[in-house]
Amino acid sequence: MTDPRRRAAGVGRATMSVMDPIAQRKQDHIAVSLSAAADFRHVRTGFDDYSFIHQALPELDLDAIDLSTTFLGHRLRAPFLIASMTGGVDKGAVINRNLAIAAQRLGLAMGLGSQRITVTHPGTLGSFQVRDLAPDVPLFGNLGAVQLNDGFGPDEVRQLVSSVGADGLFLHLNPLQEAVQPEGDRNFAGLQAKIAALCAGVPFPILAKETGCGLAGDTAAVLVAAGVSALDLSGAGGTSWSRIEGARHAAGDGENLGEVFGEWGIPTAISLRLVRETCPHIPVIASGGLRDGIAAAKAIALGADLVSLAKPLLAPALESPEAVVRAIETWLQQLRVAMFCIGAGSIAALKATTRLVTR
Confidence (pLDDT) at 109:
98
Domains by residue range for the chain, with CATH: 4-9+20-358 (3.20.20.70)
Mean pLDDT along residues 117-141: 97
Confidence (pLDDT) at 9:
30
Give the integer Cα–Cα distance in Å for 317 and 324.
6
Residue 255 or 131, more confident: 131
Q: What is the pLDDT of residues 201-259, one digit of tens each?
A: 999 999 999 999 999 999 999 999 999 999 999 999 999 999 999 888 764 444 589 99
Q: In this model, does residue 142 exceed pLDDT 60?
A: yes
Give the integer Cα–Cα distance in Å for 168 and 129.
14
Confidence (pLDDT) at 196:
98
Q: What is the pLDDT of residues 70-106, one digit of tens each?
A: 999 999 999 999 999 999 999 999 999 999 999 999 9
Confidence (pLDDT) at 17:
44
Mean pLDDT along residues 300-326: 97
Angle 46-292-107 from CA coordinates, rounded to 5°: 120
Q: In this model, does residue 30 exceed pLDDT 90?
A: no
Of 272, 274, 264, 262, nearest to 296 by C-alpha is 272
Residue 343 or 1, more confident: 343
Q: What is the pLDDT of residues 150-160, one digit of tens each?
A: 999 999 999 99
Give the integer Cα–Cα distance in Å for 239 and 38.
5
Give the integer Cα–Cα distance in Å for 72 and 343.
27
Give the integer Cα–Cα distance in Å for 229 and 204.
9
Q: In this model, does residue 2 exceed pLDDT 60?
A: no
Give the integer Cα–Cα distance in Å for 109 and 292.
18
Strands (E) in 174-223, as ranges, are 206-210
Confidence (pLDDT) at 48:
97
Q: In this model, does residue 322 exceed pLDDT 50?
A: yes
For residues 88 and 315, the answer to whether their CB atoms sit within 8 Å is: no
**% pLDDT > 70, the chain:** 93
Confidence (pLDDT) at 220:
98
What's this model's pTM, rounded to 2 decimal places? 0.92
Confidence (pLDDT) at 1:
39
Taking the chain, what is the end-to-end CA distance rounded to the nearest angstrom? 52
**% pLDDT > 90, the chain:** 85
Confidence (pLDDT) at 25:
77
Single-letter amino acid, residue 91 = K
Mean pLDDT along residues 165-182: 96
Single-letter amino acid, residue 19 = M
Residue 36 or 210, more confident: 210
